[in-house]
Amino acid sequence: MPEWTAFAGFVGVVLAGLLFLARASTQAVTAPSASSAETQTSEFPPTLTERVVDAPDRDARPVDSGDGALHLSTTALLVNVVVSQGLFATLLVVGMWVAAVPVSSLGLTVDALSLGAGVGLGVVLHAINTLGSRLSERFDLGDATALREAMAPDSAGGWAALLLVVLPLVAGFEELLFRGVLIGTFATGFGVSPWLLAAVSSVAFALGHGAQGRAGIVVTGLLGFVLAAAFVLTGSLITVVVAHYLVNALEFVVNER
């Protein structure tokens, strides 16, 4: 018999840890350093720290600027993402197994319709995300591109790792947590309206991207709610994972290639 209450408490701890790291990362990347007061960064996954974006060699070794901020190379950033996102994803999966939570509550069915819907939704959301970034730049509401530039590889191998390992892991973990668990599993276990859970999960999703500035939080929250609505309407986690992946992948390919 599923241990719904215990699992919900465990998910709360995981989410709190994730948002704590997001907050710490936000403070790190938004505080101007003594060596480069004009350098700004934005958060991609919520566990990254600051890096100098305009360094001549993206794969240079990490250095300490002397102001307490660690400036990471592109490779170090990508490894950071894989380790942190992989750790949180593993915790969720283990937690589901220990609590005997049914996998069916996640909506893991795969079919051509789910994949096609994910592709279409991802393209539309990319367009909305692009518009939001341009409005943010126009009205000086925050820089949502600096960390994307920092994470963009400059080699074929780097791009392969980004597109085939890092971004799929990010999309898979975030959709597992914010849509699959916080909406699907909780609605199944507690009988709560999935639309109410969609609203709550979208707020948490937005807070996890605070370093993108005020506009970034709003846009991310809206994108998160669209993904949540798609999950509720389709019942397919695969659809939103594919859409999420395409939003991130197109952001890099269109702007950094």
Angle at 57 between CA 55 and CA 59, to 5 degrees: 115
What pLDDT is recorded for position 144? 58
* Tens digits of pLDDT across the chain (257 residues): 999 999 999 999 999 988 887 776 655 555 544 444 443 334 455 544 333 334 445 554 444 444 444 456 778 888 888 998 999 999 999 999 999 999 999 999 889 999 999 999 999 999 988 887 777 677 666 655 666 677 788 889 889 999 999 999 999 999 999 999 999 999 999 999 999 999 999 999 998 876 566 666 788 899 999 999 999 999 999 999 999 999 999 999 988 77
pLDDT of residue 99: 97
Instruction: Report the 3 state secondary structure along 97-138.
Output: HHCCCCHHHHCCCCCHHHHHHHHHHHHHHHHHHHHHHHHHHH
133 HSE (CA, 13 A, CB side)? 15
In angstroms, the CA 119 to CA 107 distance is 17
Residue ranges making up the domain that contains 58 = 4-256
Q: pTM (2 decimals)? A: 0.81
* Alpha helices in the chain, H assignment, sequence order: 4-30, 74-98, 112-138, 146-151, 156-161, 167-175, 186-190, 194-207, 213-234, 237-256
Alpha carbon distance 151, 158 (integer Å): 10
Q: Give the pLDDT score at 155.
A: 86
How far apart are the C-alpha atoms of 153 and 148, rounded to whole Å?
10
| pLDDT attached to residue 92 | 96
Counted domains in the chain: 1
